[in-house]
Amino acid sequence: MKDYSPRPDLLAGRVILVTGASSGLGRAASLSFARHGATVALLARNEAKLEAVYDEIVAAGGPEPAMFPYDLGAADDRSLETLAGTIAHHLKRLDGLLHSAHQFYSLTPLHLQTLEQWQALMRVNLIAPFALTRACLPLLQQSADASVVFTGETHGHQPSAYWGGYAVAKSGLETLTRIWADELGAEKNLRINTLIPGPVATTLRSRTHPGLSPETVPDTDALMPWYLYLLGEDSRAVQGQIVECQP
Protein backbone atom coordinates (compact mmCIF):
# COMPACT_ATOMS: atom_id res chain seq x y z
CA MET A 1 0.00 0.00 0.00
CA LYS A 2 3.00 2.32 0.41
CA ASP A 3 3.17 2.34 -3.40
CA TYR A 4 -0.51 3.26 -3.71
CA SER A 5 -0.92 6.19 -6.08
CA PRO A 6 -4.21 8.02 -5.41
CA ARG A 7 -5.73 10.05 -8.19
CA PRO A 8 -5.81 13.82 -7.50
CA ASP A 9 -9.60 13.92 -7.03
CA LEU A 10 -9.83 10.75 -4.91
CA LEU A 11 -11.77 12.45 -2.11
CA ALA A 12 -13.62 15.09 -4.14
CA GLY A 13 -17.09 15.79 -2.76
CA ARG A 14 -16.39 13.98 0.51
CA VAL A 15 -16.53 15.38 4.02
CA ILE A 16 -13.99 13.86 6.40
CA LEU A 17 -13.76 14.55 10.13
CA VAL A 18 -10.23 14.38 11.56
CA THR A 19 -9.57 14.43 15.30
CA GLY A 20 -6.19 15.60 16.52
CA ALA A 21 -6.06 17.69 13.34
CA SER A 22 -3.86 20.43 14.77
CA SER A 23 -0.55 18.53 14.79
CA GLY A 24 1.33 15.37 13.87
CA LEU A 25 -0.33 12.73 11.74
CA GLY A 26 -3.75 14.35 12.13
CA ARG A 27 -2.48 17.59 10.63
CA ALA A 28 -0.64 15.79 7.82
CA ALA A 29 -3.74 13.73 7.00
CA SER A 30 -5.98 16.82 7.01
CA LEU A 31 -3.71 18.59 4.53
CA SER A 32 -3.45 15.47 2.37
CA PHE A 33 -7.21 14.88 2.34
CA ALA A 34 -7.81 18.50 1.33
CA ARG A 35 -5.23 18.23 -1.47
CA HIS A 36 -7.23 15.29 -2.82
CA GLY A 37 -10.52 17.18 -2.80
CA ALA A 38 -12.08 16.54 0.60
CA THR A 39 -13.81 19.09 2.76
CA VAL A 40 -12.08 18.47 6.07
CA ALA A 41 -13.74 18.99 9.43
CA LEU A 42 -10.82 19.83 11.73
CA LEU A 43 -11.22 18.85 15.39
CA ALA A 44 -8.72 19.48 18.22
CA ARG A 45 -8.41 21.24 21.56
CA ASN A 46 -6.06 24.02 20.50
CA GLU A 47 -8.02 26.58 18.48
CA ALA A 48 -4.95 28.60 17.44
CA LYS A 49 -3.27 25.51 15.95
CA LEU A 50 -6.52 24.56 14.24
CA GLU A 51 -6.67 27.99 12.65
CA ALA A 52 -3.14 27.52 11.33
CA VAL A 53 -4.12 24.24 9.62
CA TYR A 54 -7.30 25.88 8.32
CA ASP A 55 -5.26 28.73 6.81
CA GLU A 56 -2.77 26.31 5.27
CA ILE A 57 -5.54 24.37 3.52
CA VAL A 58 -7.15 27.54 2.18
CA ALA A 59 -3.81 28.97 1.04
CA ALA A 60 -3.12 25.77 -0.90
CA GLY A 61 -6.43 26.11 -2.74
CA GLY A 62 -8.23 23.23 -1.00
CA PRO A 63 -11.95 23.18 -0.25
CA GLU A 64 -12.75 25.46 2.68
CA PRO A 65 -12.52 23.32 5.83
CA ALA A 66 -14.59 23.57 9.00
CA MET A 67 -13.15 23.99 12.51
CA PHE A 68 -14.42 22.33 15.66
CA PRO A 69 -12.42 23.25 18.79
CA TYR A 70 -13.32 20.40 21.13
CA ASP A 71 -11.71 18.61 24.08
CA LEU A 72 -12.24 14.87 23.75
CA GLY A 73 -11.06 14.46 27.33
CA ALA A 74 -14.23 16.22 28.48
CA ALA A 75 -16.60 14.60 25.97
CA ASP A 76 -20.01 13.28 26.91
CA ASP A 77 -22.88 11.84 24.88
CA ARG A 78 -24.85 15.08 24.73
CA SER A 79 -21.96 17.24 23.50
CA LEU A 80 -20.90 14.59 20.96
CA GLU A 81 -24.43 14.33 19.60
CA THR A 82 -24.50 18.13 19.37
CA LEU A 83 -21.21 18.01 17.48
CA ALA A 84 -22.60 15.42 15.05
CA GLY A 85 -25.71 17.55 14.59
CA THR A 86 -23.59 20.62 13.87
CA ILE A 87 -21.64 18.71 11.22
CA ALA A 88 -24.91 17.55 9.65
CA HIS A 89 -26.35 21.08 9.69
CA HIS A 90 -23.35 22.90 8.25
CA LEU A 91 -21.65 20.28 6.08
CA LYS A 92 -24.75 18.20 5.19
CA ARG A 93 -22.90 14.88 5.13
CA LEU A 94 -20.06 12.82 6.58
CA ASP A 95 -18.11 10.30 4.51
CA GLY A 96 -15.08 9.64 6.66
CA LEU A 97 -13.79 9.81 10.22
CA LEU A 98 -10.11 9.59 11.14
CA HIS A 99 -9.38 9.26 14.85
CA SER A 100 -5.90 10.75 15.29
CA ALA A 101 -6.21 12.50 18.68
CA HIS A 102 -4.29 10.89 21.51
CA GLN A 103 -3.31 11.29 25.15
CA PHE A 104 0.14 10.22 26.31
CA TYR A 105 2.15 10.87 29.49
CA SER A 106 5.49 9.05 29.49
CA LEU A 107 7.10 5.62 29.35
CA THR A 108 6.69 4.48 32.94
CA PRO A 109 6.57 1.16 34.85
CA LEU A 110 3.01 0.10 35.63
CA HIS A 111 3.49 0.46 39.39
CA LEU A 112 4.17 4.18 38.92
CA GLN A 113 1.12 4.87 36.76
CA THR A 114 -1.87 6.34 38.56
CA LEU A 115 -5.59 5.71 38.38
CA GLU A 116 -6.11 9.29 37.23
CA GLN A 117 -3.64 8.80 34.37
CA TRP A 118 -5.31 5.57 33.29
CA GLN A 119 -8.73 7.20 33.32
CA ALA A 120 -7.46 9.99 31.04
CA LEU A 121 -5.66 7.54 28.76
CA MET A 122 -8.74 5.35 28.37
CA ARG A 123 -11.04 8.32 27.93
CA VAL A 124 -9.14 10.03 25.10
CA ASN A 125 -7.56 7.01 23.37
CA LEU A 126 -10.44 4.50 23.53
CA ILE A 127 -13.70 5.77 25.01
CA ALA A 128 -13.93 9.03 23.06
CA PRO A 129 -13.22 7.37 19.68
CA PHE A 130 -16.00 4.88 20.38
CA ALA A 131 -18.43 7.55 21.55
CA LEU A 132 -17.70 9.98 18.71
CA THR A 133 -18.12 7.20 16.13
CA ARG A 134 -21.40 6.17 17.75
CA ALA A 135 -22.66 9.76 17.66
CA CYS A 136 -21.69 10.13 13.98
CA LEU A 137 -22.93 6.70 12.92
CA PRO A 138 -26.35 7.80 11.56
CA LEU A 139 -24.64 10.44 9.40
CA LEU A 140 -21.97 8.00 8.19
CA GLN A 141 -24.62 5.42 7.31
CA GLN A 142 -26.29 7.93 4.99
CA SER A 143 -23.13 8.09 2.87
CA ALA A 144 -22.84 5.89 -0.20
CA ASP A 145 -19.28 5.05 0.84
CA ALA A 146 -18.06 5.88 4.34
CA SER A 147 -14.89 4.90 6.19
CA VAL A 148 -13.92 5.08 9.87
CA VAL A 149 -10.24 4.71 10.73
CA PHE A 150 -8.94 4.36 14.27
CA THR A 151 -5.26 5.07 14.87
CA GLY A 152 -3.63 2.14 16.62
CA GLU A 153 -0.14 1.84 18.07
CA THR A 154 2.67 -0.65 17.62
CA HIS A 155 2.91 -1.34 21.36
CA GLY A 156 -0.84 -1.86 21.61
CA HIS A 157 -0.56 -4.46 18.85
CA GLN A 158 2.54 -6.08 20.35
CA PRO A 159 2.66 -5.08 24.06
CA SER A 160 5.96 -4.31 25.73
CA ALA A 161 7.21 -2.87 29.00
CA TYR A 162 6.55 0.73 30.09
CA TRP A 163 3.81 1.55 27.57
CA GLY A 164 1.17 0.80 30.19
CA GLY A 165 -2.25 2.38 29.95
CA TYR A 166 -1.54 3.95 26.57
CA ALA A 167 -0.86 0.55 24.99
CA VAL A 168 -3.87 -1.01 26.74
CA ALA A 169 -6.17 1.70 25.40
CA LYS A 170 -4.76 1.39 21.88
CA SER A 171 -5.10 -2.40 21.93
CA GLY A 172 -8.76 -1.87 22.78
CA LEU A 173 -9.25 -0.07 19.47
CA GLU A 174 -8.34 -3.27 17.63
CA THR A 175 -11.02 -5.20 19.50
CA LEU A 176 -13.50 -2.38 18.97
CA THR A 177 -12.75 -2.44 15.23
CA ARG A 178 -13.42 -6.15 14.91
CA ILE A 179 -16.62 -6.07 16.98
CA TRP A 180 -18.06 -3.10 15.08
CA ALA A 181 -17.15 -4.56 11.69
CA ASP A 182 -18.80 -7.83 12.70
CA GLU A 183 -21.95 -6.00 13.80
CA LEU A 184 -22.11 -4.06 10.53
CA GLY A 185 -22.16 -7.38 8.71
CA ALA A 186 -23.60 -6.99 5.24
CA GLU A 187 -23.70 -3.19 5.44
CA LYS A 188 -21.51 -2.47 2.43
CA ASN A 189 -21.44 1.34 2.54
CA LEU A 190 -19.60 1.68 5.88
CA ARG A 191 -16.28 0.15 6.86
CA ILE A 192 -14.26 0.40 10.07
CA ASN A 193 -10.54 -0.36 10.32
CA THR A 194 -7.54 0.40 12.52
CA LEU A 195 -4.35 1.84 11.04
CA ILE A 196 -1.06 1.41 12.92
CA PRO A 197 1.40 4.08 11.68
CA GLY A 198 4.49 2.54 13.29
CA PRO A 199 7.57 4.66 14.06
CA VAL A 200 7.17 8.09 12.49
CA ALA A 201 8.77 11.50 13.02
CA THR A 202 6.27 13.21 15.31
CA THR A 203 6.41 15.02 18.64
CA LEU A 204 5.24 11.84 20.37
CA ARG A 205 8.15 9.91 18.86
CA SER A 206 10.60 12.54 20.13
CA ARG A 207 9.19 12.09 23.64
CA THR A 208 9.36 8.29 23.65
CA HIS A 209 12.71 8.06 21.87
CA PRO A 210 14.54 11.33 22.65
CA GLY A 211 17.97 9.99 21.73
CA LEU A 212 17.06 8.94 18.19
CA SER A 213 17.37 11.23 15.19
CA PRO A 214 14.07 11.99 13.40
CA GLU A 215 15.78 11.10 10.13
CA THR A 216 15.85 7.43 11.16
CA VAL A 217 12.07 7.07 10.71
CA PRO A 218 9.60 8.11 7.97
CA ASP A 219 8.06 11.57 8.11
CA THR A 220 4.30 11.99 8.30
CA ASP A 221 3.87 12.62 4.56
CA ALA A 222 5.46 9.27 3.74
CA LEU A 223 2.54 7.49 5.41
CA MET A 224 -0.23 9.38 3.62
CA PRO A 225 -0.79 6.72 0.90
CA TRP A 226 -2.17 4.41 3.62
CA TYR A 227 -4.45 7.12 4.95
CA LEU A 228 -5.73 8.06 1.50
CA TYR A 229 -6.31 4.43 0.59
CA LEU A 230 -8.38 3.67 3.68
CA LEU A 231 -10.45 6.87 3.44
CA GLY A 232 -11.07 6.57 -0.31
CA GLU A 233 -13.29 4.28 -2.35
CA ASP A 234 -10.46 1.94 -3.35
CA SER A 235 -10.62 0.30 0.09
CA ARG A 236 -14.33 -0.60 -0.08
CA ALA A 237 -13.55 -4.29 0.45
CA VAL A 238 -11.35 -3.68 3.52
CA GLN A 239 -13.42 -4.21 6.65
CA GLY A 240 -12.49 -4.96 10.26
CA GLN A 241 -8.75 -5.03 9.51
CA ILE A 242 -5.72 -4.01 11.53
CA VAL A 243 -3.46 -2.41 8.95
CA GLU A 244 0.23 -1.81 9.74
CA CYS A 245 1.95 0.88 7.71
CA GLN A 246 5.33 -0.54 8.66
CA PRO A 247 4.87 -4.21 9.58
Provide the annotated active-site residues. Answer: 166
- Beta carbons within 8 Å of 31's beta carbon, 6+ residues apart: 53, 56, 57, 60, 62
3-state DSSP of 130-196: HHHHHHHHHHHHCCCCEEEEEECCHHHHCCCCCCHHHHHHHHHHHHHHHHHHHHHCCCCCEEEEEEE
Closest by CA to 96, choosing from 247, 236, 243, is 236
Query: Distance between CA 25 and CA 43 in Å, rounded?
Result: 13
